[in-house]
Amino acid sequence: MNIEGDDPWRRPHVSQAAENVWSGENKGSISDTVIDNSPSLLSHDPFGPTTLNEPSLSAEVKETIRVNYNERNINNTDSSTMEQSVWGQATTSFNNINSSALDKLNSAGNDAASENGSKSELLDSWIESVRKTFVPLSSNIVVVEKIPEREGILFKHTNYLVKHLISLPNTTPSPDRTVIRRYSDFSWLQEVLLQRYPFRMIPELPPKKIGTQNSDPVFLARRRKGLTRFINLVMKHPVLRIDDLVLTFLTVPTDLSSWRKQANYDTSEEFTDQKIDKAFLGMWHKDLSVQWNKADENIDGLLESWIKISVLVERYEKRMKHVSEERRILGTIMEEFSANSNALYPLDLNSINDINNHINIVSKHLHKLADISENEQEEVEEELSVKFKTFIDFILALKGVFERYKMMAGNNIPQLQRRVEINLDKLRAIEGKADTKGAEYERIKGVIQRDKRTITDQLNRSWLIRKCILEEFVIFQETQFVITSIFQEWAKMHTKYVNEHTECWERLYSNMEDMPFARNI
């Protein structure tokens, strides 16, 4: 079993985090994932031909990210500026330097594996237990509604009514289980979750505003949906949903900004004072790191492909909406036609009146089809489109774990190792000179002991991170069934409305059979 300071994910060019992971020169944005120097979306003809390579589709992919997700500057890391592997470089003499701590970890892991069965059996059991904690298809338990009245004297802001639908543990909510929150409160919650759980799948927020669109109703509706997805994904996560600050966000009825100024709350990393489980040491094998690296290499392509799928589905639905609108217009024009046709056929009023009656039936049929299409479009927007974007949320959350891992999982074990080696050589040199022993000898000995403790602590943290991101990767596997749910619902929805359209056309055909075809003699 490898417990040295090497990178468990075998990323040779990924290295130590910057001192301040939220600052620096290597910032990108979520939209950088799908950067494309394409013409403006405004030039796209919604009725034109569609291919995966057309510039307007690439522009629309970028636009989808821009208008639905906050551009957090942690999703693009230039590894060329980093100094060393996140787990430190593998060394041949590491065990000699800190043999006591490493031997204990190695022995603990091997003993756990031998006592409880093979590594494979232990890992399978552990993975199964982790999977059961996450059900991405479970129902949403938080509702977010925009309050119509905006607050503020100079700068108006929107408030949201946030209501949880079930009882939450260790909380005393208001009788109606509602609180009033601003966008900045959601942003604060995301920030503290990132500080506490940097290696967990923290969902992205929608943008606060885009240019002057802060009062645009379409933008505000999109942002409300994004906030709803954010808080519900937090509440589905097995660790985040029981966090005390998440529960505070959902239950404390007072203004949250005032509460934050008065309250003392802990934002320290979740690994503080934790020790790695012996069982995890025993079950680990390097194939897991290979899977992680392949996922990291392919996540950008998967993200862009899914956004293209989402964009094309939305395009299709928009085309159907245009067809619906034109059918309604056609029905109205047919009514106008029947109202004017009598003047042109005054000699055959009986037959023309009969024809006009049937034309009015066609008009009503077209209006009925338009109503059915509008109901379909509304259901797509309120349910299906949300699910497409929810899967984007899952991918972005995992991508965020990848990027924060590259930035924040660093250690300086190799440097510490080298310093211990040098100080051990100094001690041996001093031991050969009895007259030089004394304060200097004790000082160097103390430095060596401190460095060994630091190495042990950093090694322990590295294993805790390894365990944490494996947990996240395991629960992410459950999101594959979201894909199944989306396309099953899409097919079911279209089947429902196609049947309604078919029944409507069949009724029309039945009514048209007795429409005058010739003059009755």
Tell me the three-class secondary structure of 402-462, residue by residue: HHHHHHHCCCCHHHHHHHHHHHHHHHHHHHCCHHHCCHHHHHHHHHHHHHHHHHHHHHHHH
Q: For position 287, what pLDDT does the model report?
A: 86
Q: What is the DSSP letter of 211?
A: T
Three-class secondary structure of residue 521 per DSSP? coil
Three-class secondary structure of residue 180 per DSSP? strand
Three-class secondary structure of residue 146 per DSSP? strand
- Cα separation of 94 and 89, whole Å? 10
Q: Note whether 206 and 227 are within 8 A (CB).
A: yes
Q: Name beta bridge partners: 146.
A: 160
pLDDT in tens, 261-294: 888 999 999 998 899 988 898 888 888 889 999 9
Q: Is residue 265 part of a domain?
A: yes
Whole-model pTM?
0.79
Residue 298: pLDDT band by 50, 70, 90 thresholds? very high
Nearest to 378 by CA among 223, 497, 491: 497
Q: Name beta bridge partners: 352.
A: none
Q: Is residue 221 part of a domain?
A: yes
pLDDT in tens, 185-235: 999 999 999 999 999 999 999 988 765 656 788 888 899 999 999 999 999
Q: Note whether 153 and 167 are within 8 A (CB).
A: no
Other residues' Cβ atoms within 10 Å of the Cβ of residue 259: 15
- Cα separation of 407 and 266, whole Å? 22
- Cα separation of 265 and 192, whole Å? 10
The 3-state DSSP composition of the chain as helix, strand, coil percent (nearest 5) reads 65, 5, 30
Other residues' Cβ atoms within 10 Å of the Cβ of residue 217: 9
In total, how many domains does the chain have? Answer: 1
pLDDT in tens, 330-360: 999 999 999 998 888 887 778 888 999 999 9
Q: Is residue 12 part of a domain?
A: no
Tokens 């293209």 -> residue: 308
CATH code, 197 = 3.30.1520.10
Q: For position 243, what pLDDT does the model report?
A: 95
pLDDT in tens, 77-134: 443 333 233 333 333 333 333 444 444 555 555 555 555 557 888 899 999 999 999 9
Q: At residue 193, what is the residue type? A: L
Q: Note whether 483 and 330 are within 8 A (CB).
A: no
Domain with 173, as residue range(s), is 142-270
- Cα separation of 495 and 492, whole Å? 5
Q: Is residue 490 part of a domain?
A: no
Other residues' Cβ atoms within 10 Å of the Cβ of residue 407: 23
Q: Is residue 258 part of a domain?
A: yes
Q: Is residue 84 part of a domain?
A: no
Tokens of 71: 């551009």
Q: Is residue 241 part of a domain?
A: yes
Q: Is residue 181 part of a domain?
A: yes
